[in-house]
């Protein structure tokens, strides 16, 4: 059975921080957990929300066009998610033409069923939240985020949200699991019970957005556009409806009210569940770019590793509630739970097996008490993880670690090891088998939370099957094979001291500076010219260059060349052109599919890595050497000539 889950798609006017990484970590955990439960395929979509007014303004401030800006920012998200080891399947960009089509398609379905009309609206709008704000005077602070609101008057297309009060209340009633946790569901019920205003879903004042299929210049309201991305990412894959939208509590109304209403209007299946987690606080406030209190994940991962950061966030904070981050608390938990807890259990168990049993897992049924504790732990952790109560699940795993630690101390295997009697050796085998079997079960359970560390211990235990293939059905006591040779033993979580905090803080300063530069105005590469007159060309010179609109129909990396993409580009000729371009570091192959580009079509062919390239893609060259592809805000037909 399939399981399709999503993270929110992130605004690209700010780089990822711990708050945004939190949703993504949790989604990655759930993906791994669902696989272990036996769902197949388990598909995770994340992505970038590129059409907001704040992104348009951020691009303006940086002095670049919005697509160039968002392309660079989306690349930053992709590289950060790679650094954080996120195992997603789709990265949907709302600037992707495939997404534009889905949005227009869904709008037309709503229109056909009579839920769209034209009207005019004047009111207060919060740019930061990209939402109209009721009950405040224009210019007053937004009640949600505190930023000043703006007055907007627009002739817009409206969605008849008011028609969905009853159907939504019925949905919450009939399907109590639709919004989780329960207190958030109650908030939504209270919100909808107060009555719903129709929603303006197009804007005339913005350029940067998806053009609505109506007369005149209308682009879609960013939330109408953004929510549909969950569907565009998998439209033809048979994965809809989503099983889970994982989001932060601040965007619940959009997911639990607007989104099901849009889908009901379009007569499409609804997602099964929306789970709203709480906020990561730092210095007593929600961590956010506008508050200026963000902590970036990269420097933390460089010092303590991905697993420790994930463990900390998911153990320290009850999923669904707010919780604080501090470097101090991170290091304390790391030392107590990881270095002294799991890490110590792994190294003492494996070292003793090495020392007393020549590195072979001894034969023994294990201790009945530890077996029973393992069974209970599995039961509690399973219930907790199924309810997305990760801190509770982890707490139960760590109580189990304490039980085994106590058992080892009581049995004192270091004494038994010195006693050759059958009785002592039997007890020794029992304690070593029990700890090793407990370790195997703990590895499997901690894998969704700490994939690298769990894999590492798993390999040290000598397990043959990759940890990724383990299912919860394999977790019954006694599955660890006697006689199995363990791998080489190495510490997984070396202890950290205060110098780790200094390192993270220093790296944070550097990372902040790097991102400030990335988000600021890029410097153009000045092309040296001989003299201003000599540099000029006549129109006759210019028309010699055959510039055409092309659409990428296939794209793949050239083996052994990090920068090169091998593409087929349709420029309206009988066959698509083969073009090899040095853009792969900025534009991954999957992002190029379907994208419209500008091609120099009459360039002499040249061979790159043995592939003949018949044309060149036009791009701006920025100071850091990165290309930004030329593109169009309006839709242009393939093959059109640029004059
Ligand atoms: N683009 C919209 C989402 C559209 S989904 C169709 C958006 N983007 S965002 O970048 O501002 O936020 C994305 C997610 O990150 C939200 O779920 C938000 O709750 C989460 N977080 C941002 N800051 C956060 C914290 N400090 N703590 C926890 N999560 C937070 O909203």
Q: Note the pLDDT tens digit of each residue in 384-415.
A: 999 999 999 999 999 999 999 999 999 999 99
Give pLDDT tens digits for 50-77: 998 888 888 888 888 999 999 999 999 9
Give pLDDT tens digits for 261-293: 999 999 999 999 999 999 999 988 999 887 889
The yes-or-no verdict on residue 594 having pLDDT over 90 is no
Distance, CA of 49 to CA of 113 (rounded, Å)? 27
pLDDT at 524: 42
C-alpha closest to that of 179 among 274, 260, 320? 274
In this prediction, residue 558 has a pLDDT band, given cuts at 50, 70 and 90, of confident
Name the token pair of 556: 């793949």
pLDDT at 122: 81
Q: Is the CB of 209 under 6 A from ligand 1?
A: no
Q: Is the CB of 24 under 6 A from ligand 1?
A: no
Distance, CA 9 to ligand 1 centroid (Å)?
Answer: 8
Q: Is the CB of 276 under 6 A from ligand 1?
A: no
What average pLDDT does this structure show over 179-200?
97
pTM of the model: 0.80
What average pLDDT does this structure show over 131-140?
77
Distance, CA 357 to ligand 1 centroid (Å)?
Answer: 52
565-570 and 577-581: which strand pairing?
Answer: antiparallel
Q: Is the CB of 248 under 6 A from ligand 1?
A: yes
Distance, CA of 104 to CA of 422 (rounded, Å)? 77
pLDDT at 624: 63
Distance, CA of 242 to CA of 488 (rounded, Å)? 43
The yes-or-no verdict on residue 625 having pLDDT over 90 is no
Distance, CA of 326 to CA of 150 (rounded, Å)? 35
What average pLDDT does this structure show over 9-24?
94
Nearest CA to ligand 1 atom 8: 10
pLDDT at 622: 67
Element (H, E) at 11: strand 3-11
The yes-or-no verdict on residue 484 having pLDDT over 90 is yes
The yes-or-no verdict on residue 115 having pLDDT over 80 is yes
Which ligand 1 atom minimizes the distance to the CA of 294?
A: 26
Distance, CA of 61 to CA of 250 (rounded, Å)? 26
Q: Is the CB of 286 under 6 A from ligand 1?
A: yes
pLDDT at 17: 96
Distance, CA 583 to ligand 1 centroid (Å)?
Answer: 30
Which ligand 1 atom minimizes the distance to the CA of 281?
A: 26
The DSSP-derived string for 340-361 is IIIIHHHHHHHHHHHHHHTTBP
Asked if residues 473 and 479 have their Cβ atoms less than 8 Å apart, the reply is no
Nearest CA to ligand 1 atom 17: 248
Distance, CA 6 to ligand 1 centroid (Å)?
Answer: 13
Distance, CA 20 to ligand 1 centroid (Å)?
Answer: 6
The yes-or-no verdict on residue 471 having pLDDT over 70 is yes
Nearest CA to ligand 1 atom 11: 11
Element (H, E) at 167: helix 165-174
Residue with the two structure tokens 């982890």 = 394
Asked if residues 384 and 377 have their Cβ atoms less than 8 Å apart, the reply is no
Say how many residues make up the chain.
Answer: 643
In this prediction, residue 39 has a pLDDT band, given cuts at 50, 70 and 90, of very high
Distance, CA of 45 to CA of 247 (rounded, Å)? 12
- Of 48, 94, 248, 285, the one to substitute when testing ligand 1's pocket (max ligand atoms within 8 A of C-beta) is 248
Q: What is the largest CA-CA distance in the chain?
A: 99
Other C-beta atoms within 10 Å of 518: how many? 15
Q: Is the CB of 251 under 6 A from ligand 1?
A: yes
Distance, CA of 169 to CA of 175 (rounded, Å)? 10
Q: What whole-number percentage of the chain has pLDDT above 70?
A: 96
The yes-or-no verdict on residue 347 having pLDDT over 80 is yes
pLDDT at 166: 98
Nearest CA to ligand 1 atom 15: 20
Distance, CA 288 to ligand 1 centroid (Å)?
Answer: 9
The yes-or-no verdict on residue 199 having pLDDT over 70 is yes
DSSP 8-state secondary structure symbol assigned to residue 129: T
Q: List C-alpha distances in Å: 455 to 32, 187, 317, 567.
A: 13, 41, 24, 37
The yes-or-no verdict on residue 562 having pLDDT over 90 is no
C-alpha closest to that of 71 among 599, 597, 636? 597
Q: At what angle do helices 422-446 and 390-411 cross, to 10 degrees?
A: 170
Q: Is the CB of 20 under 6 A from ligand 1?
A: yes
Q: Which of 55-59, 160-164, 471-475 has the lowest mean pLDDT?
A: 55-59
The yes-or-no verdict on residue 342 having pLDDT over 80 is yes
DSSP 8-state secondary structure symbol assigned to residue 243: S
What average pLDDT does this structure show over 479-491?
97
Q: How far is CA 277 from the centre of its chain?
A: 14
Which ligand 1 atom minimizes the distance to the CA of 11?
A: 10
Left if phi > 0, otherwise alpha if psi is -120 to 50, otherwise beta: which for 534? alpha
Which ligand 1 atom minimizes the distance to the CA of 250?
A: 19
Q: Is the CB of 320 under 6 A from ligand 1?
A: no
Distance, CA 4 to ligand 1 centroid (Å)?
Answer: 19
Which ligand 1 atom minimizes the distance to the CA of 230?
A: 6
Burial (CB count <10 Å: 0-12, 13-18, 19+), residue 429: buried
Residue with the two structure tokens 């224009």 = 138
The yes-or-no verdict on residue 233 having pLDDT over 60 is yes
Distance, CA 156 to ligand 1 centroid (Å)?
Answer: 27
Distance, CA of 515 to CA of 12 (rounded, Å)? 12
pLDDT at 530: 36
Name the token pair of 497: 């001291």
Q: What angle do CA 397, 400, 403 make, to 5 degrees?
A: 160
Give pLDDT tens digits for 416-441: 999 999 999 999 999 999 999 999 99
The DSSP-derived string for 381-437 is HHHHHHTT-HHHHHHHHHHHHHHHHHHHHHH-HHHHTT--SHHHHHHHHHHHHHHHH
Give pLDDT tens digits for 239-249: 999 999 999 99
Mean pLDDT of the chain: 92
Q: Is the CB of 343 under 6 A from ligand 1?
A: no
Which ligand 1 atom minimizes the distance to the CA of 287?
A: 26
Which ligand 1 atom minimizes the distance to the CA of 247?
A: 17
Distance, CA of 240 to CA of 268 (rounded, Å)? 9
Left if phi > 0, otherwise alpha if psi is -120 to 50, otherwise beta: which for 428? alpha
Distance, CA 22 to ligand 1 centroid (Å)?
Answer: 9
What average pLDDT does this structure show over 324-343?
97
Asked if residues 183 and 252 have their Cβ atoms less than 8 Å apart, the reply is no
Q: Is the CB of 9 under 6 A from ligand 1?
A: yes
Nearest CA to ligand 1 atom 25: 19
The yes-or-no verdict on residue 328 having pLDDT over 60 is yes
pLDDT at 599: 93
Nearest CA to ligand 1 atom 29: 19
């Amino acid at each position: 059975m399939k399981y399709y889950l999503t993270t929110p798609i992130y605004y690209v006017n700010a780089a990822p921080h711990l708050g945004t990484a939190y949703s993504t970590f949790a989604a990655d955990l759930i993906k791994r957990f669902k696989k272990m439960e036996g769902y197949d395929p388990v598909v995770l979509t994340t992505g970038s929300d590129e059409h907001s007014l704040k992104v348009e303004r951020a691009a303006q401030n940086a002095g670049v066009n919005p697509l160039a800006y968002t392309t660079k920012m989306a690349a930053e998200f992709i590289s950060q998610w790679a650094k954080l080891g996120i195992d997603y399947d789709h990265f949907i960009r709302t600037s992707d033409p495939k997404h534009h089509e889905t949005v227009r398609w869904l709008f037309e379905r709503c229109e056909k069923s009579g839920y769209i009309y034209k009207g005019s609206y004047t009111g207060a709008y919060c740019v930061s939240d990209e939402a109209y704000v009721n009950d405040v005077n224009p210019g007053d602070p937004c009640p949600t985020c505190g930023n000043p609101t703006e007055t907007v008057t627009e002739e817009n297309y409206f969605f008849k949200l008011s028609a969905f009060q009853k159907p939504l209340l019925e949905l919450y009633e009939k399907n109590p699991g639709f919004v989780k946790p329960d207190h958030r569901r109650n908030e939504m019920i209270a919100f909808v019970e107060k009555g719903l205003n129709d929603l303006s879903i197009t804007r005339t004042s913005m350029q940067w957005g998806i053009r609505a299929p109506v007369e005149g210049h209308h682009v879609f309201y960013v939330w109408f556009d953004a929510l549909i991305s969950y569907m565009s990412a998998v439209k033809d894959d048979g994965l809809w409806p989503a099983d889970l939208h994982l989001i932060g509590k601040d965007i619940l109304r959009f997911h639990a009210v607007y989104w099901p209403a849009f889908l009901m209007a379009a007569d499409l299946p609804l997602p099964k569940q929306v789970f709203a987690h709480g906020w990561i606080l730092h210095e007593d406030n929600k961590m956010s770019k506008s508050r200026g209190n963000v902590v970036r994940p990269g420097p933390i991962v460089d010092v303590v590793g991905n697993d420790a950061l994930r463990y900390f966030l998911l153990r320290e904070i009850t999923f669904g509630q707010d919780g604080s981050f501090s470097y101090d608390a991170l290091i304390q938990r790391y030392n107590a739970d990881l270095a002294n807890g799991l890490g110590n259990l792994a190294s003492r168990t494996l070292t003793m097996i090495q020392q007393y049993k020549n590195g072979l897992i001894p034969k023994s049924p294990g201790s009945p008490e530890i077996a029973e504790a393992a069974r209970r732990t599995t039961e509690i952790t399973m219930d907790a993880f199924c309810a997305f109560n990760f801190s509770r699940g982890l707490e139960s795993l760590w109580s189990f670690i304490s039980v085994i630690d106590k058992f080892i101390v009581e049995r004192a295997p270091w004494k038994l090891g010195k006693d050759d009697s059958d009785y002592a050796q039997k007890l020794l085998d029992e304690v070593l088998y029990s700890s090793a079997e407990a370790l195997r079960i703990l590895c499997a359970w901690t894998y969704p939370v700490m994939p690298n560390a769990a894999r590492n211990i798993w390999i040290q235990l000598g397990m043959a099957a990759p940890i990724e293939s383990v299912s919860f059905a394999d977790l019954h006591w006694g599955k660890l094979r006697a006689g199995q040779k363990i791998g080489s033993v190495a510490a997984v979580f070396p202890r950290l001291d205060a110098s780790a905090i200094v390192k993270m803080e220093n790296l944070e300063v550097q990372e902040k500076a790097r991102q400030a530069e990335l988000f600021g105005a890029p410097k153009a590469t000045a092309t040296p010219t001989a003299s201003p007159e000599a540099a000029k060309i006549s129109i006759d010179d210019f028309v010699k260059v055959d510039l055409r609109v092309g659409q990428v129909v296939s794209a793949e990396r050239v083996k052994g060349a990090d920068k090169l993409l091998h593409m087929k580009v349709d420029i309206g000729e009988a066959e698509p052109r083969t073009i090899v371009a040095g853009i792969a570091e900025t534009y991954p192959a999957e992002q190029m599919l379907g994208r419209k580009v500008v091609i120099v079509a009459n360039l002499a062919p040249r061979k790159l890595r043995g592939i003949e390239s018949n044309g060149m893609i036009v791009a701006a060259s920025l100071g850091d050497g990165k290309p930004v592809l030329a593109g169009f805000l309006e839709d242009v037909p393939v093959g059109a000539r640029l004059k």
